[in-house]
């Protein structure tokens, strides 16, 4: 087995409902969905975020989309206009979750190497706008 | 109108109030479209509009919608594109009036009708409703509204597709509502076009999901999309989404040919998960949709078919959006350069807090973040590297006491000469002191709202 960051296995989108952030995690490859279900338990997510999430973590399964939806309660400093956080709407909790390390078979780790990150040396084209 | 074999195209023109101002123009000019939906309202928008109306009785709606319509009205009339929007905010009457005027200026007099939906506003009926026993308890905390009654600034029921369908039946070419749900702006036209029964749960649920995909604009066509974002083409000319819906409720998500962006299974899946709660229990005024039944298939370039959706009977309640005044806040920033930038920034925050304490001001919260290090991923990133070249100190305060927040706002710039060295980035002036409009979600029985909904149609 090998430890890799979730960013190589899944993409994500997050948003807010009051003081709760939601994070949707979607497997890049359908065959990795079961791995996500096994590894991304609510307890492990709660542990990953530590003091950033003051309430409970709920998980919902969407096998039709190869996706999991997490509700992180008490994550947004009161939420909405109360919150003093830079990320008051929880927009970047998505990639905060993708930092997490998961355990996968060696061949999976090898197959997904570099996935989810810009290719080495990639820069936006500038041309006339330099 | 009766059911038909043809598909109906509903395009999204705005994902929020302040979205790309040219997106609706691209939608009506660059390809075929039957309906343009535009969502202008977020949770706090209604309270902002209520304040604007307090200062000026003619205000209280998304003002930029009117010049936009002046610009696209002739094309909409010529191409028979009907517009459905909640731009009316807390003053849909004022919005509709301005819209009729804009239509005349645009030269479409006698060629178009404006539909107006009113009755979602509960502010004037609030005490009456409380007396009748509608407690309007906060859905998150369970507290009754009476605990904050005097601070309430706006109260509106989220209304469904019924009045939109009625306005379209009466021949409206543009429908202006107050707090319609975001999704109803898409499935209202579908119920009208296909004549879906109000208990045809699966088809209405399909329409809701079409609406959920449409409602955030380009967030499903390549904007804010994580999959290989560096390969998404022409993002400066991003195509906004269009749903091409069949009479059975299934639909294809696409965008106009020749526009930038990308529609794939993944881009649509990301948007489906946006702001999701329990996916089996997505409650709207007209149906409960089950997002675990959604099937996605890529059926062509920039074409994703969505089908298989199931829904179940709607509840007896409408959600109510209440905003109440909950104190004051301000956030200021300063930039610290190498060496020891994080230590300098944290020392500055400490000095500022000591000064405010000495002045006797009380805050409910003071929050310090280092932009460039921990302001988005918090403690997950650990301590900053010793040689980080710079950080931006971002410090915010919240208090019931306006004077405390105002004093805080005046204490940021002085830190440049009275705090730690190698600091810059203060040119923006004092941080703005903002009134906090907190959100109070509640439920109300449908019969307390629905008889008050009124649909009118006016000639341009």
Kindly report the nearest CA distance between residue A1 and chain B, in angstroms: 24
CA distance B198 to B216: 25
Kindly report the nearest CA distance between residue B436 and chain A, in angstroms: 6
Residue B355 has pLDDT above 90, yes or no: yes
pTM metric for this prediction? 0.96
CA distance B319 to B157: 6
Dump the DSSP string for B382-442: -SPPTT--EEEEEEEEEES-HHHHHHHHHHTTTHHHHSSSSEE--TT-SPPPEEEEEEEEE
Residue B373 has pLDDT above 90, yes or no: yes
Write the pLDDT tens digit of every residue in A52-98. 999 999 999 999 999 999 999 999 999 988 999 999 999 999 999 99
Dump the DSSP string for B38-56: E----TTHHHHHHHHHHH-
* ipTM for the assembly: 0.96
Q: What per-residue confidence (pLDDT) applies to B275?
A: 95
Q: What per-residue confidence (pLDDT) applies to B412?
A: 95
Q: Are B333 and B394 in contact (CB under 8 A)?
A: yes
Kindly report the nearest CA distance between residue A55 and chain B, in angstroms: 13
Averaged pLDDT, A97-105: 97
Averaged pLDDT, B83-108: 98
Q: What per-residue confidence (pLDDT) applies to B429?
A: 85
Write the pLDDT tens digit of every residue in B190-199. 999 999 999 9
Averaged pLDDT, B224-244: 96
Averaged pLDDT, B290-302: 98
Dump the DSSP string for chain A: -EEEEGGGTEEEEEEEETTEEEEEEEESSGGGHHHHHHH--HHHHHHHHGGG--S-EEEEEEGGGTEEEEEEET-STT-TTT---TTTT-TTHHHHHHT-EEEE-HHHHHHTTTTTSPPTT-----GGG-
Residue A126 has pLDDT above 80, yes or no: no
Cβ of B367 and A77 within 8 Å? yes
Q: What per-residue confidence (pLDDT) applies to B2?
A: 47
Q: Choose the closest CB to B292 out of A64, A77, A80.
A: A64
Q: Choose the closest CB to B379 out of A52, A62, A63.
A: A52
Q: Choose the closest CB to B279 out of A11, A16, A60.
A: A60
Residue B1 has pLDDT above 50, yes or no: no
Residue B97 has pLDDT above 60, yes or no: yes
Q: Residues 6 or more apart from B169 whose CB is under 8 A from it?
A: B1, B192
Q: What per-residue confidence (pLDDT) applies to B302?
A: 98
Q: What per-residue confidence (pLDDT) applies to A19?
A: 94
Write the pLDDT tens digit of every residue in B66-75. 999 999 999 9
* Closest Cα in chain B to A86: B375
Backbone torsions φ then ψ of B14, nearest 5 degrees = -150, 135
Cβ of B272 and A63 within 8 Å? no
Q: Choose the closest CB to B269 out of A67, A84, A124.
A: A67
Q: For a pLDDT cut of 90, what percent of chain A falls above it?
A: 91
Averaged pLDDT, B277-305: 98
Residue B336 has pLDDT above 60, yes or no: yes
Mean pLDDT across chain B:
96
| Residues in A touching B297 (Cβ below 8 Å) | none
Which has the minimum average pLDDT: A27-41, B37-51, B175-189, B299-313? B37-51
* B292 vs A: CB within 8 A: yes
| Residues in A touching B379 (Cβ below 8 Å) | 50-52
Kindly report the nearest CA distance between residue A65 and chain B, in angstroms: 7
Q: Choose the closest CB to B266 out of A26, A60, A71.
A: A26
Cβ of B439 and A18 within 8 Å? yes
Averaged pLDDT, B53-71: 95
Please report which confidence band the pLDDT of residue B47 belongs to, taking 50, 70 and 90 as the band edges.
confident
Q: Choose the closest CB to B279 out of A13, A62, A116.
A: A62
Q: Are A34 and A105 in contact (CB under 8 A)?
A: no
Residue B130 has pLDDT above 50, yes or no: yes
Kindly report the nearest CA distance between residue B65 and chain A, in angstroms: 24
Kindly report the nearest CA distance between residue B265 and chain A, in angstroms: 9
* CA terminus-to-terminus distance, chain B: 23
CA distance B187 to A121: 45
Q: What per-residue confidence (pLDDT) applies to B196?
A: 98
CA distance B244 to B433: 45
Residue B3 has pLDDT above 70, yes or no: no
* A126 vs B: CB within 8 A: no
Residue B367 has pLDDT above 70, yes or no: yes
CA distance B345 to B33: 53
Averaged pLDDT, B195-219: 98
Q: What per-residue confidence (pLDDT) applies to A130?
A: 56
Residue B364 has pLDDT above 80, yes or no: yes
């Amino acid at each position: 087995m090998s430890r890799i960051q979730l960013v190589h296995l899944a993409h994500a989108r997050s948003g807010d409902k009051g003081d709760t952030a939601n994070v949707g995690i979607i497997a890049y490859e359908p065959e990795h969905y079961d791995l996500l279900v096994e590894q991304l338990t609510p307890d492990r997510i709660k542990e990953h975020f530590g003091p950033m999430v003051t309430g409970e973590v709920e998980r919902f399964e969407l096998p039709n989309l190869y996706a999991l939806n997490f509700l992180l309660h008490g994550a947004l400093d009161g939420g909405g206009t109360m919150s003093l956080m830079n990320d008051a709407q929880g927009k970047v909790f998505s990639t905060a979750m993708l930092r997490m390390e998961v355990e996968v078979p060696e061949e999976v780790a090898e197959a997904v190497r570099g996935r989810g990150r810009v290719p080495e040396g990639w820069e936006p084209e500038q041309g006339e706008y330099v | 109108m009766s059911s038909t074999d043809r598909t109906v195209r509903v395009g999204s023109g705005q994902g929020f109030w302040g979205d790309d101002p040219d997106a609706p123009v691209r939608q009506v000019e660059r390809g075929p479209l039957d309906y343009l939906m535009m969502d202008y309202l977020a949770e706090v928008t209604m309270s902002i509009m209520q304040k604007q109306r307090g200062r000026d009785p003619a205000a209280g709606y998304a003002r930029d919608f009117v010049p936009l319509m002046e610009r696209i009205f002739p094309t909409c009339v010529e191409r028979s594109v009907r517009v459905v929007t909640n731009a009316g905010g807390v003053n849909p009457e004022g919005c509709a009036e301005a819209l009729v005027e804009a239509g005349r200026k645009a030269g479409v007099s006698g060629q178009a009708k404006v539909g107006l939906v009113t009755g979602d506003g509960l502010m004037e009926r609030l005490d009456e409703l409380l007396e009748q026993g509608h407690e309007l308890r906060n859905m998150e905390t369970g507290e009754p509204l009476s605990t904050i009654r005097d601070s309430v600034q706006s109260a509106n029921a989220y209304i469904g597709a019924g009045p939109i369908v009625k306005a379209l039946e009466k021949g409206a070419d543009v429908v202006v509502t107050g707090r319609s749900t975001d999704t109803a702006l898409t499935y209202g036209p579908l119920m009208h076009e296909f004549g879906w029964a109000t208990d045809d749960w699966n088809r209405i649920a399909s329409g809701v999901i079409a609406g959920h995909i449409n409602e955030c604009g380009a967030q499903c066509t390549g904007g804010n999309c994580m999959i290989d974002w560096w390969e998404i083409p022409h993002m400066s000319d991003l195509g906004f989404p269009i749903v091409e819906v069949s009479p059975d409720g299934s639909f294809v998500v696409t965008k106009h040919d020749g526009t930038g962006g990308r529609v794939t299974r993944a881009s649509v899946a990301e948007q489906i998960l946006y702001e999701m709660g329990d996916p089996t229990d997505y409650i709207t005024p007209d149906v409960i949709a089950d997002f675990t039944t959604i099937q996605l298939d890529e059926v062509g370039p920039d074409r994703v078919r969505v089908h298989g959706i199931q829904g179940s009977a709607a509840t007896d309640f409408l959600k109510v959006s209440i905003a109440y005044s909950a104190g004051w806040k301000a956030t200021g920033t300063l930039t610290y350069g190498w060496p020891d930038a994080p230590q300098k920034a944290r020392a500055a925050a400490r000095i500022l807090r000591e000064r405010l304490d000495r002045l006797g001001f009380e805050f409910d919260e003071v929050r310090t973040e280092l932009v460039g290090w921990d302001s988005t991923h918090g403690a997950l990133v650990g301590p900053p590297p010793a040689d980080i070249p710079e950080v931006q100190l971002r410090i915010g305060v919240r208090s019931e006491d306006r004077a405390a927040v105002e004093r805080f706002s005046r204490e940021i710039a002085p830190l440049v000469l009275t705090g730690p060295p190698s600091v810059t980035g203060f040119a923006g002036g004092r941080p703005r002191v903002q009134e906090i409009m907190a959100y109070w979600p509640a439920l109300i029985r449908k019969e307390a709202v629905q008889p008050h909904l009124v649909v009118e149609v006016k000639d341009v």
